[in-house]
Amino acid sequence: MKKIILYLFAWSLLVGAWSCNKNEISSNSIFDAPAAPQNAFDKWLLMNYTYPYNIDFKYKLDDIESNLTYQLAPAKAENSVAMAKLIKYLWLEVYDQVGGITFTRTYVPRIILLVGSSGINPNGTELLGTAEGGLKITLYKVNELDIKALNINLLNEYYFKTIHHEFAHILHQTKNYSSDFLQISSTDYIGEAWNDKDESLSKAYKLGFVSQYARKSVDEDFVEILAMYVTSTVTQWNAILTLAGADGRPKIEQKFEIVKDYLTTSWNIDIVALRDAVQERSALIGNLDLTL
């Protein structure tokens, strides 16, 4: 046995010496992969998202970036182009205008991911968007975008309420809002039961919420106030307050004042100016060229 071990040891030294005498190892890594050629849209994204905002705008649905809990479809190329232009016009440039480009590029997520379909949850609700630790926003249902007949109400319902909602999460996770907000509706948050059949939008309004989803938790309530306000016209917002009635209206107005003060004191952003900028641009979307 000792002889066998000695022979094996000698053989390993011989092989090692022979290996060291071979030519130098190639500098090419076995893990190198050829870079995918950039198309016109990739180059446009580089100039309009990556360079000015340090955002990686993903539209090809890489497995590593997508939510494997759902059966998802990639976004259509033409819809991705249109959505990228709409997001820049109706969201990024709005915050540039009101908060300054330094604010925008500092706090926007590093990744925006588009998904063609929506994620369907077991309770029947649709997943329209997510924000992950301030680093990524995912938008779903992009293939539902009707490029030829843009409807701002549908755009807000499917996409831009979601974008403003998720970005508001990023802001309050960076600087928290006043605990006074919780006291207004502390007994009316119901978690996942917000979508139960006996819950309704009318009931939510009368309890002091601007949406049914706002009843899920205090954080969702907070960001829904911001998202609903900036994407609503003056007439639409006043209609919500009217429907909220004598009990719900004062609560919504109290919440709004806390959100307004939070944006002013924490971020030097006027929420009324933010809403006005969104509405002015929303009225002009028919003039946009959504192609390359």
Q: 218-231 and 271-282 are packed helices; what angle lies between their axes, rounded to 10 degrees?
A: 50
Q: Output the CA torsion 206→280→173→67 (10° steps).
A: 90
Q: Residue 30: its pLDDT value, please?
A: 45
In order along its 292 residues, the chain shows pLDDT tens digits of 444 444 444 444 444 444 444 445 455 544 454 566 899 999 999 999 999 999 999 999 875 555 556 778 899 999 999 999 999 999 999 999 999 999 999 999 999 999 998 877 777 777 777 777 678 888 999 999 999 999 999 999 989 998 999 899 999 999 999 999 999 999 999 999 999 989 999 999 999 999 999 999 999 999 999 999 999 999 999 999 999 999 999 999 999 999 999 999 999 999 999 999 999 999 999 999 999 9
Q: Residue 2: its pLDDT value, please?
A: 43
* Contacts of 233 by beta carbon, 8 Å cutoff, 6+ apart: 279
Q: Indicate the DSSP class of residue 285.
A: G
Q: Residue 75: its pLDDT value, please?
A: 94
Q: Residue 21: its pLDDT value, please?
A: 45
Q: CA geometry: angle at 175 spanning 220 and 249, to 5°? A: 40
Q: Give the type of residue at 148.
A: K
Q: Residue 270: its pLDDT value, please?
A: 98
Block residue for tokens 């899920």 = 216
Q: Residue 130: its pLDDT value, please?
A: 77
Q: Residue 29: its pLDDT value, please?
A: 46
Q: What pTM does this model have? A: 0.84
* Contacts of 277 by beta carbon, 8 Å cutoff, 6+ apart: 94, 97, 98
Write down the number of H helices and E strands in the chain. Answer: 13, 6
Domains and CATH numbers, the chain: 40-287 (3.40.390.70)
